[in-house]
Amino acid sequence: MENQTQTLLKKVFGFEKFRPLQEEIINRTINGKDSFVLMPTGGGKSMCFQIPALVFDGITIVVSPLISLMKDQVQALKSNGIKADFFNSSISSQEENEVINKAINGDLQLLYLSPEKLISVRNTWLQQLNIKLVAIDEAHCVSMWGHDFRPEYTQLKVFRKTLPEVPFMALTATADKSARKDIEEQLGLTNSKLFISSFDRKNLSIEVRGQVPKKKKLQEIVNFIKRRKDESGIIYCLSRKNTEEVASYLKQEGHSVAFYHAGMNHEEREKTQTDFINDDTKIIVATIAFGMGIDKSNVRFVIHYNLPKNLEGYYQEIGRAGRDGLPSETMLYYNMRDFVLYSQFADEGANTAMQKEKLNRMLQFAEAKSCRRKILLSYFGEHLTENCGNCDVCENPPKDFEGTILSQKALSGIARMKEKDGITMLINVLRGSNNADIHAKQYFNLKTYGIGKDVSFFDWRDYIIQMANQGLIEIMYAESSALKITPIGWKVLKGEKTIRLTTPVSAEDKNKLQKPAKSTTIGETNHDLFAELKKIRYTIAKEEKMPAYIIFNDKSLKLMASELPTTENEFLAISGVGMNKMEKYGEEFMSIIRKFKNVARPRKIPTTQKTFNLFKEGLHPAEIAERRNLSITTIFSHLSQLFTEGKEIELEKYVTKQTVDQVRVLFNELGRKMELKPIYDKLNEQVSYSEIRLSIALIQKNE
């Protein structure tokens, strides 16, 4: 059986080996037992029920609430030669009947349904099917604890009871401990085993930038996108208005971009989403409403234009990048205004305390000075032992220094201003600024006025926020963000406690450190070829009316562009190429690779140039031949070609005038064709091919 599942993985999906836990889950399912699969987005959950579905002699029912996803998944399965279909509200009753007939006749391996559909057909034709497995995707929807509760899901338990012998599989990417129990209970899973894979998505780089003014933020984003030409990405904004503004700014700059938010009607949203999936729009600027029903594997970057509300949302959103496993980038921008705004929202809504706590954790993450992935994963209960090396903090670790005196200056400023003002006023006082507010409050009389002149505004801000993070001061958001000194802060002010601060890293420094797009620097991928392959993929996708990444994902194309497969076996060895795709698309892609190989060779190895370089060094043709391990004839033919191209070479040195004259006569007699053999023969093999070639070059050049 192990061999069978392994073979299916390779033959059908084109993958070499299972990811952690997949095989165990698959075997358990084939043995008829229930499982609960908790894996991050892009972790490879679908494979866990798709392989058993191919092994079983019967049908697998997949319940999913995301209608747009169903269509993509079914297309992806079909493209691998699997018999799969789906129902949703968009198909006609005739199409529906066709699907039902196929299912009843045993002509389907997988059938995707929404929960409401399943419930409504449960007692009709569904009873005639030979159901071997039921997979419940987005299983957290059954739990009232979660944020996506769907009442229809609660009826699935009844369905489960009608099929006591059939294995059920619940799958989700989000469920904390209390929700997990609830899900098992609500779905009536008996003796199910919980499988949790690591939530670490190593291929996602993490970067955070704070306090970047709007104009600069937009400029940075434009630069970022420019360096990632033609790559897909998502930019998340807090408000609908923001999405439209940012999108129009990027459009002005000539980018392929659209906005997406809940204020648009259903059709507009659908179209925007489809264009993105099909690579017709590269960048989407969206509120968090975007992304739920999207399986697009080649999203190369996710940018947060504002601070997300909590780490759960943030992690889910950045998780939409890099599902294909290729390096992908995430960037979070935040400023205190976002934080204050959210705090106010939280005050007005329900669950205030919990929401505020989550928001605080989000801010702590954004302002962290240690490995961000460590912080993020520990929030989800996973503890990394090593720093990740793929976040901005790891790549540019902060340096710390004795910061007690600096802190005392700020604390003393706060105390003298009677804890009534916010960060900006404090910094202006410390720096001795001369503005109307300071005059109105007569702050220039304070002892602390101007004692922090030597520190820039930007750095002061960073230090004060560090002080807040270390618990020296508190920002009172409910009191116009006035700064208050905490008991620890008083201790520092009185000299009873010391503290350390870290040197701020300005956005400029980060920009300087910014490497080119990660996704384009890996491997030996040939970019021209990769672009060509992408083009043909796009053309085929249009013809077949399906998303391009379903034909081959970016990872497969990159591998093709570096491995250059030109035979069926070589092509099948590319990850993501199964038998079906090999047969369907192999020839088309390989012919491009072959053409590329043929053209690339002389371009890649400018052999005449190498000869010329040695020639310029003063080497004799015979020495060049020896050095390059080529025949002397070849070297002379290089020299002839270089001479014809106008390079300065005294060919006359290598051939006598008499020979040139002999060759000229015959060359003219033979209609000036570039054929050496007849001349060679007519000269009774007395003149070498090299001399003939040199002669012709001289003859042509001198006329």
Contact set with Zn ion (CB under 5 A): 371, 373, 387-388, 391, 394
CB atoms within 10 A of CB 369: 14
CB of 575 to ligand ADP, least distance (A): 6
Q: Is 45 in the site for ligand ADP (CB under 6 A)?
A: yes
Read off the amino acid at residue 37.
V
Q: Is 15 in the site for ligand ADP (CB under 6 A)?
A: yes
Task: Please enumerate in sequence order all residues whose Cβ is within 8 A of that of 426, keeping only pairs 6 or more positions apart, or say none.
Answer: 410, 413, 414, 417, 460, 464, 483
Task: Please enumerate in sequence order all residues whose Cβ is within 8 A of that of 695, keeping only pairs 6 or more positions apart, or say none.
Answer: 655, 659, 660, 663, 664, 667
CA distance 371 to 394: 6
CA distances 648 to 26, 616, 645, Å, are 70, 9, 9
Using the contact rule CB under 6 A, the part of the chain among 18-26, 106-114, 489-497, 516-524 near ligand ADP is 18-26
Q: Which of 5, 60, 273, 297 binds ligand ADP (CB under 6 A)?
A: 297
Structural tokens at position 413:
């400023």
Q: Is 233 in the site for ligand ADP (CB under 6 A)?
A: no
CB of 276 to ligand ADP, least distance (A): 17
Footprint on residues 391-410 left by ligand ADP (CB under 6 A)? none
CB of 393 to Zn ion, least distance (A): 6
Q: Which of 11, 19, 83, 664 binds ligand ADP (CB under 6 A)?
A: 19
Q: Is 324 in the site for ligand ADP (CB under 6 A)?
A: yes
Q: Which of 42, 115, 403, 547 binds ligand ADP (CB under 6 A)?
A: 42
CA distances 95 to 92, 102, 456, Å, are 5, 11, 68
Using the contact rule CB under 6 A, the part of the chain among 13-21, 53-61, 115-123, 309-317 near ligand ADP is 13-21
Helix (H) or strand (E) holding 331: strand 328-334
581, 551 in Cβ contact below 8 A? yes
CA distances 114 to 44, 134, 461, 635, Å, are 21, 13, 51, 71
Closer of 21 and 388 to Zn ion (Cβ): 388
CB of 59 to ligand ADP, least distance (A): 20
Q: Is 72 in the site for ligand ADP (CB under 6 A)?
A: no
Q: Is 139 in the site for ligand ADP (CB under 6 A)?
A: no
Partner in contact with 371, chosen from Zn ion, ligand ADP, none, beta carbon below 5 to 8 Å by kind:
Zn ion
Partner in contact with 12, chosen from ligand ADP, Zn ion, none, beta carbon below 5 to 8 Å by kind:
none
CB of 508 to Zn ion, least distance (A): 22
Partner in contact with 39, chosen from ligand ADP, Zn ion, none, beta carbon below 5 to 8 Å by kind:
ligand ADP
Closer of 373 and 518 to Zn ion (Cβ): 373
CA distance 578 to 566: 16
CB of 198 to ligand ADP, least distance (A): 13
Strand partners, 121: none
Closer of 16 and 347 to ligand ADP (Cβ): 16
CB of 552 to ligand ADP, least distance (A): 11
Alpha helices in 545-631 (DSSP H): 548-551, 554-563, 568-572, 579-604, 607-616, 621-628
Could you give the dihedral angle defined by the CA atoms of residues 573, 576, 578 and 582, in that order, rounded to the nearest 10 degrees? -80
Partner in contact with 42, chosen from ligand ADP, Zn ion, none, beta carbon below 5 to 8 Å by kind:
ligand ADP
Partner in contact with 29, chosen from Zn ion, ligand ADP, none, beta carbon below 5 to 8 Å by kind:
none
Q: Is 65 in the site for ligand ADP (CB under 6 A)?
A: no
Closer of 324 and 329 to ligand ADP (Cβ): 324
Q: Is 43 in the site for ligand ADP (CB under 6 A)?
A: yes
Q: Is 140 in the site for ligand ADP (CB under 6 A)?
A: no
Can you state the angle between helices 372-379 and 352-366, rounded to 10 degrees? Answer: 160
Structural tokens at position 62:
């997949």
CB of 319 to ligand ADP, least distance (A): 8
Q: Is 18 in the site for ligand ADP (CB under 6 A)?
A: yes
Number of residues that bind ligand ADP (CB under 6 A): 17
Closer of 146 and 322 to ligand ADP (Cβ): 322
CB of 39 to ligand ADP, least distance (A): 5
Using the contact rule CB under 6 A, the part of the chain among 16-24, 52-60, 349-357, 464-472 near ligand ADP is 16-24
| Burial annotation 73-104 (CB, 10 A radius, 16+ → b, else e) | bbbbbebbebbbbbbbeeeeeeeeeebbeebe
CA distance 179 to 380: 14
Cα 283 to its chain centre, rounded Å, is 13
Partner in contact with 15, chosen from ligand ADP, Zn ion, none, beta carbon below 5 to 8 Å by kind:
ligand ADP
Task: Please enumerate in sequence order all residues whose Cβ is within 8 A of that of 237, keeping only pairs 6 or more positions apart, or say none.
Answer: 243, 246, 285, 286, 287, 305, 306
Task: Please enumerate in sequence order all residues whose Cβ is within 8 A of that of 24, keeping only pairs 6 or more positions apart, or say none.
Answer: 195
Q: Is 315 in the site for ligand ADP (CB under 6 A)?
A: no
Partner in contact with 43, chosen from ligand ADP, Zn ion, none, beta carbon below 5 to 8 Å by kind:
ligand ADP
Q: Is 39 in the site for ligand ADP (CB under 6 A)?
A: yes
Using the contact rule CB under 6 A, the part of the chain among 43-51, 214-222, 341-349, 539-547 near ligand ADP is 43-51
Read off the amino acid at residue 231.
E
For 473-533, strand residue ranges (E) read: 473-476, 482-485, 500-502
CB of 547 to ligand ADP, least distance (A): 12
Per-residue binding string, ligand ADP, 527-566, x by CB under 6 A, is --------------------------x-------------
Nearest to 186 by CA among 164, 148, 158: 158
CB of 319 to Zn ion, least distance (A): 17
Structural tokens at position 499:
């503290």
Q: Which of 35, 41, 526, 608 binds ligand ADP (CB under 6 A)?
A: 41
Q: Compute φ and ψ for 104, nearest 5 degrees.
A: -65, -35
Q: Is 234 helix (H, G, I), strand (E, B) or coil?
A: strand
Alpha helices in 367-417 (DSSP H): 372-379, 392-395, 404-416
Partner in contact with 391, chosen from ligand ADP, Zn ion, none, beta carbon below 5 to 8 Å by kind:
Zn ion
Query: Which residues sit at the interface with ligand ADP, rule CB under 6 A?
Result: 15, 18-19, 22, 39, 41-47, 295, 297, 323-324, 553
